[in-house]
Amino acid sequence: MTLVDVAAQAGVSVSSASRALTDKSASVDVRERVQLAARELGYVPDSTARSLKLGASRQVLFAVDDIGNPNYVAMLRAIERTFGYTGPRVSVATVGRDSGTPVDLVEAVSRGRADGLILSPIRRSSLLEERLSSSAIPTVVIGSVSESVQVDSVRIDSGKAIAIAAEHLIARGRRRIAFINGPSDTNPGEVRARGFAQSLRVAGIAADPMLEISAADFTVGAGVVAAHALFERGNYTELPFDAIVAANDLLAMAAINVAVGRGFRVPDDVAVTGLDDTELGSVFIPSITSVSLRAAERGARAAQMLEARFQHPQRPIERVAFEPELHVRASCGGAL
Amino acid sequence: MTLVDVAAQAGVSVSSASRALTDKSASVDVRERVQLAARELGYVPDSTARSLKLGASRQVLFAVDDIGNPNYVAMLRAIERTFGYTGPRVSVATVGRDSGTPVDLVEAVSRGRADGLILSPIRRSSLLEERLSSSAIPTVVIGSVSESVQVDSVRIDSGKAIAIAAEHLIARGRRRIAFINGPSDTNPGEVRARGFAQSLRVAGIAADPMLEISAADFTVGAGVVAAHALFERGNYTELPFDAIVAANDLLAMAAINVAVGRGFRVPDDVAVTGLDDTELGSVFIPSITSVSLRAAERGARAAQMLEARFQHPQRPIERVAFEPELHVRASCGGAL
DNA sequence: TTGAAAGCGATACCAT
DNA sequence: ATGGTATCGCTTTCAA
């Protein structure tokens, strides 16, 4: 069922059929006949052919590691809102371990399928960065990339965010602070570990490997496993920590669940902080003290930058940084 | 940067270039020259042109109302896992109120962009169903569609699920049961309202409009607003309800948060149940009694059905139904 | 093995 | 306003 069929049925040329359907100049008569024919035949234009001819797809791809993470959902909503009804349609691809690497993605999608790409990978790869450098379509990275890569990016120092959380706990008098990190082979995992170590150093607290653990993923499920492992380490009569810094809100929820399940009080026995400042975390009981990574703002900004690059392909590379922001809630004891 | 350029650079014909890159018959010499040229020029094939020629995109689209809902995330993961590494790439489009209607989507994506569509709309529309009937690409609906529409579907009776939750509360001796529903203009909203009413009727409990409220969305944020409204209705000294049935886990979390925030104990003063059986709900404190809608299984099944239709376009329409399953947890008092 | 050329389906230019 | 036709970038017959 192609435009040729519709044109034949309506008794006009394909050119006229095309015009009639895309509402260019066409007589009322032709327009009606063509639209009728299209309806009768159940004609649906082939977007692939149209894109090929037009050289644009009006599609933007948002590629994330795990769309189950509320952080990315917040970004997505902001991106969609920014493009709005008249902008390109945005679709999401997950590029986690299971579902194809970011490189696959950049390959697959590169040209034709989407006009632009917003990419938020958690694992750095030199291959990916190489591909990004010679990217076939406009791209904005939300996250960190090497300075050498010429690509627009929106970043935030999540190591600093972790440090802010840890410092807040220290300021409240907590001294034995545990850390539940995400996977250490990820960029956020690495950065957050450094941020945590740094904050202890500044406070003059000795780092203790027994108090640090990496969850297998930035998910609740992995967090529960990690938290249990943390609580079961060593032989103690008294809990060897009085606070837990979690690498995001999902891990914080898991930590609180496990702590409470083992009979400890949060925040009295163990204070807990998260990262991402999710709505879910603020509704959790106790509500979770969290450092915002400004996901929505970063998403919106990324969309704006992509749009700007569509307009001006030659504009200089732009790298924007946001500042993390602490939101004190009940899980660390509430406002000071 | 097209294949023509690569071919020129390598000093071969486009046909040879194409073969060299798609690994058909080509001499070692040619293959090497072409691949070198491609790398040098930063050539990336245009997927649009390829799809047009091949008549397939190896893409499947998953269209949902709100990917922020853990239920859809569970489906997505199952879909991706089912297609696996060798299957089509799946991308997600949200078709909520803000981001284009499902009809837009079916239009836009219909042909070319994706080989198949898995659609999980929450608002029924005759226009959508009409489009579905004459769908340009294989489609599976997760949710409910009129019997008259000839389309593969995977459904579950969420009204029954709500009834199971309410009946469980009644079995535990709760009698004044409130209901926080999702938006009433959605299909799940309608169905769940009927299921709730039905369960009261069976138990011989009079329905009380003061105890029912619709949240503006199936989200935590909307749930908090609705829960506050519910608690503030009427003038009472004693709480006019001893249980809340929530239309999903997000609304249940919101309800518990608000109840506890107002000084009530869950489940002692108010028992609460959810729907969807999310991981988040099981980690919430108290853990949320919930009726599983088998999101992962439905997602996997939908993917299988789509694959089957790819294989056998003429196979008869298949409609599969799943059964909801109650998971008793702390928010209603735990196991009986 | 290689190259020339047809064609996927739509759009837009150029005549009429 | 309408029709014929080249074209988007790629894959694939068909000959050589």
Average pLDDT per consecutive 10 residues, chain B (336 residues; last block may be shorter): 94 95 87 94 92 93 93 97 92 76 64 90 80 82 92 97 98 97 96 98 97 98 98 89 98 98 97 98 98 98 97 95 98 92
Distance from CA of B108 to the nearest CA of A (A): 7
Q: Please, are residues B213 and B240 in contact by the beta-carbon 8 Å criterion?
A: no
Contact A256 B285 (CB under 8 A): yes
* Entry pTM: 0.95
pLDDT number for residue A107: 62
Q: Please, are residues A125 and B144 in contact by the beta-carbon 8 Å criterion?
A: no
pLDDT level of residue A190 (50, 70, 90 thresholds): very high
**pLDDT over 70 (residue A225):** yes
pLDDT number for residue A153: 97
pLDDT number for residue B273: 98
Cα–Cα dist B36/B21, whole Å:
10
Average pLDDT for A247-255: 98
pLDDT number for residue B236: 84
Nucleotide D15 C1' to residue B15 CA (A): 14
Please check whether strand C approaches the CB of A16 to within 7 Å.
Answer: no
Contact B283 A224 (CB under 8 A): yes
Angle in degrees, CA A297, A72, B252, rounded to 5: 105
Cα–Cα dist B140/B119, whole Å:
6
**pLDDT over 70 (residue A62):** yes
Nucleotide D12 C1' to residue B252 CA (A): 58
Please name the residue that has the structure tokens 């690409």: B137
Q: Please, are residues A260 and A266 in contact by the beta-carbon 8 Å criterion?
A: yes
Of B49, B68, B80, the CB nearest to A99: B80
For B276-314, the DSSP string reads: S--HHHHHSSSPPEEEE--HHHHHHHHHHHHHHHHH-TT
Nucleotide C9 C1' to residue B60 CA (A): 21
Question: CA of B101: which chain A residue's CA is closest?
Answer: A85
**pLDDT over 80 (residue A254):** yes
pLDDT number for residue B102: 64
Nearest nucleotide to the CA of B48, by C1', is D9
Please check whether strand C approaches the CB of A9 to within 7 Å.
Answer: no
Question: CA of B56: which chain A residue's CA is closest?
Answer: A48
pLDDT level of residue A206 (50, 70, 90 thresholds): very high
SS (HEC) of B164-206? HHHHHHHHCCCCCEEEEECCCCCHHHHHHHHHHHHHHHHHCCC
Cα–Cα dist A71/B149, whole Å:
37
Q: How many Cα atoms within 13 Å fall on the side-chain side of residue A309?
A: 22
| Residues from chain A contacting residue B67 (CB–CB below 8 Å) | 67, 73, 76, 92
| Residues from chain A contacting residue B253 (CB–CB below 8 Å) | 280, 283-284
| Residues from chain B contacting residue A109 (CB–CB below 8 Å) | 47
Cα–Cα dist A144/B55, whole Å:
38
Sign of the C-alpha dihedral, residues B240, B241, B244, B247? negative
Q: Please, are residues A139 and A131 in contact by the beta-carbon 8 Å criterion?
A: no
Of B44, B61, B136, the CB nearest to A136: B44
Please check whether strand D approaches the CB of B4 to within 7 Å.
Answer: yes
Distance from CA of B19 to the nearest CA of A (A): 18
pLDDT number for residue A193: 98
pLDDT digits (tens, 9 = 90+) for A88-136: 999 999 886 655 666 666 666 668 889 999 999 898 887 777 777 777 7
Cα–Cα dist A46/A24, whole Å:
18
Rg of chain B on CA atoms, in Å: 25
Contact A111 B45 (CB under 8 A): yes
Mean pLDDT of chain A: 93
Please check whether strand C approaches the CB of B22 to within 7 Å.
Answer: no
Element (H, E) at B213: strand B212-214
Bridge-partner residues for A245, per DSSP? A179, A273
A–B interface: beta-carbon pairs under 8 A: 149
Cα–Cα dist A271/A242, whole Å:
6
pLDDT number for residue A109: 63
Cα–Cα dist A130/A124, whole Å:
11
